[in-house]
Amino acid sequence: MTKNLLSKIAGGVVIAFLAAGCGSSHNGGDGGPAQQQEDAAASGSVAGFIGFAQVQIARTDDASEPRPIAGINPPVSDVDEPAVI
């Protein structure tokens, strides 16, 4: 179970990194396709949501504006074990 959870988290982190690297919406963007892909990845699974949060926390570009998160619906599961953060 732990190995499966870790692989899900690792997959979510990879997806979040790939989605974050696809484009930049903080340079005058209007929340285009890159942001929609990030929202979908973060909404798709708990691992994707954790990966998205870790990428946002690790951002080092102090000049950028906070990214809107209105398009993200945190996933909820009644059967999965709580994720270790």
Whether 80 maps to a domain, the answer reads no
44-80 confidence digits (pLDDT tens): 988 899 999 998 888 888 777 788 889 999 888 788 7
Number of compact structural domains in the chain: 1
Whether 39 maps to a domain, the answer reads yes
* Residue 3 structural domain: 1-22+31-72
Residue with tokens 């997959």: 11
Whether 79 maps to a domain, the answer reads no
Whether 2 maps to a domain, the answer reads yes
Residue with tokens 């708990």: 46
Number of C-beta neighbours around residue 43 at 10 A = 15
pLDDT for 24 equals 47
Taking the C-alpha atoms of residue 71 and residue 63, their distance in angstroms, rounded to an integer, is 23
The H or E element that residue 54 is part of is helix 46-57
Whether 50 maps to a domain, the answer reads yes
25-50 confidence digits (pLDDT tens): 444 445 688 899 999 999 998 889 99
Whether 11 maps to a domain, the answer reads yes
DSSP 28: T
CA angle 33, 5, 67 (to 5 degrees): 30
